[in-house]
Amino acid sequence: MVGMFEFAPEEFIVEEITKEGLVLELDKQIEKEGDGNLEKDYFTHFILQKREWNTLQALSAISRALHIGAKRLNFAGTKDRNAITTQLCSAFAVPSEKILSLKIKDIQINGAWKEKEKVRLGDLLGNRFTITLSKENCGKNVEAEKIKKNASKNNYCIPNYFGQQRFGSMRGNSHLIGKLMLQGKYEEAVLNFLCFPGDDKLGAEARKQLEKEKDFAAALGYFPRHLKYERTILGQLAKNPRDFIGAFRKLPRTLQLIFIHAFQSFLFNELLKKRVEEKRLFVGAIGDFYCNSDSYGFPEIDSAKAIEDYAEATAVNERIQSGSCFLAGHLIGYETDLTQDEAFLLEREGIEKEAFRLKSMPELHSKGSLRPLFVPLKDFAVLFPSPVKIGFSLPSGSYATVAIEELKVI
């Protein structure tokens, strides 16, 4: 499953676009000379193609096959499990021949070469998607002409909502946990993480029993082994039943941050929804942020600045229509200069801006940042009429499932 859709891997193909604008095409071997003079302290960059593996699971399998620690492997962006995907990765001080000779089911390497620097998270422009749509995976009949017409609206741009995956693919409660953490309600946050329903039958029954009994030590005896993060928290609480913050700290820091980021994403989606309803998505006003488009045609968020006067607003709106400019909105943090809408939303949610300092867990603090309010469906095309196959590219951090929803497939 990808978001709310039931795609087979062959129906959902994701090809990463490198920061240089190169599409890492499916099944295409790429040969690069790299820096062959490097003998030590080098990184081997490699193109990973995988089917029905998520990125972390695939790299874990690769690290085991190479007999190295997983921390020696890096990647530019995460990719879904239920798909066929390509992406750029790197391995510290592993000869390219060893990587090219890997034999792991549903994993192939489409090129490897030496470089001085590792691949870093975010070292990509975006992703190219090739998606087959049908009644079986979307729940309704899909019409090619209708999709083509909807895609062409608004100059082939769509609202840049966060997809359902951001809030937890199985249970959809990551933002609820984040909100409770921001409110300092760590006991409630832990119980939400442990007891919120929505996954497989074994997990659901265990969560229901724990919610009723509140016996963390006993829960270790019946919580399924595959719920390893839940069991990690239960292990800490079995030793110290009131140490809820300490229990959270036993989780990987990336997972701890996911909860905070999910709530920021929820706020962003709420504000974006209001803007869409008020027909202000493509209209900049004084105080709004805007950014330029990069050489690939995607939003260049690092160039963002605020509209200062009416003349600048007029110029920005002209550029929006030409596709050379994008509006941006806040991912709210403690340094965000709140708009009236943002202040009202925080009040509604019972959160103060200063809460993003997370005084009890300051390592998770968030100053806030900006995110494009809309993004282009670059190179959109209907590739095949029946079953409908579409292709398009999106910038890093944008969701193909959101694009499908916006095309009125569902």
The catalytic residues are 80
Name the DSSP class of 9: G
Report the residue count for the chain: 410
Burial of 41 (0-12, 13-18, 19+ CB in 10 A): exposed
The pair of three-digit structure tokens given for residue 286, joined into one six-digit string: 């004084």
By C-alpha distance, which of 263, 262, 280, 291 is closest to 372? 291
Phi, psi of 173 (to 5 degrees): -120, 10
CB atoms within 10 A of CB 301: 18
Cα-based distances in Å from 161 to 38, 230, 328, 371, 404: 43, 29, 12, 10, 12
Buried b vs exposed e over 49-83: b needs ≥16 C-beta within 10 Å? bbbbbbbeebbebbbeebebeeebbbbbbebbbbb
The pair of three-digit structure tokens given for residue 207, joined into one six-digit string: 């969560």
Report helix, strand and coil shares of the chain as percent, to nearest 5. Answer: 40, 25, 35
Between CA 298 and CA 88, with CA 132 as vertex, the angle to 5 degrees is 50
Buried b vs exposed e over 3-39: b needs ≥16 C-beta within 10 Å? bebebebebbbbbbbbbeeebbeeeeebeeebeeeee
